[in-house]
Each structure stands twice: as C-alpha cells, then as structure tokens.
Amino acid sequence: MSGILNTISVLGSGKTFTMKPLPLKASRDILRLMHHTYRNQGFQLFVSFFEIYGGKLFDLLNDRK
C-alpha cells in the first residue's frame, strides 16, 4: 500500500492551515489499520513528509534539512 498527498495553489491560499492536521490524522488511521488488520504479518511502515518551497525540497521530519 502506498499513497501520496500533493497540494498546489497560489501563495497565501491557506494550504498550511488546511493541511496541518492531515499528517497526524493519516498516521493515526494507518497505524490503527496496521495494528488491527495486519498484525503479525511482517509489514513495515516507512514515512516521509516533504515540502517543496521556492524550488527547494525540505524534509519536515528532519528539521527541514
């Protein structure tokens, strides 16, 4: 299973405000699903969370480095 969430719009349109709770909610749902449905089946979960701003890529799980 894999998924991508991508948002693109003009500066100042509210993307950060709108998107801020989504990673936490999505993580909770994915972990709950893995725990209850796929428990003890050897699945691994890899997560990345990036922002592209001004032509630069920032890793949001590693202090924007």
Q: What is the pLDDT of residues 4-41, one digit of tens each?
A: 767 777 777 877 777 777 778 888 888 898 888 878 88
Q: Is residue 34 situated within a structural domain?
A: yes
* Structure confidence at residue 64 as a pLDDT band (50, 70, 90): low
Q: Is residue 19 part of a domain?
A: yes
Domain assignment present for residue 5? The answer is no
Instruction: Tell me, yes or no, whether 41 lies in a domain.
Output: yes
Structural domain that includes position 25 = 15-59
Task: Give the count of domains, the chain.
Answer: 1
Determine, yes or no, domain membership for 64: no
Structural domain includes residue 30: yes
What whole-number distance in Å separates Cα of residue 57 and Cα of residue 42? 32
Q: Is 0.85 surpassed by the pTM of this model?
A: no
- 65 lies in a domain? no
Q: Where are the alpha helices (DSSP H) in 1-65?
A: 15-19, 22-37
Is 22 within the bounds of a domain? yes
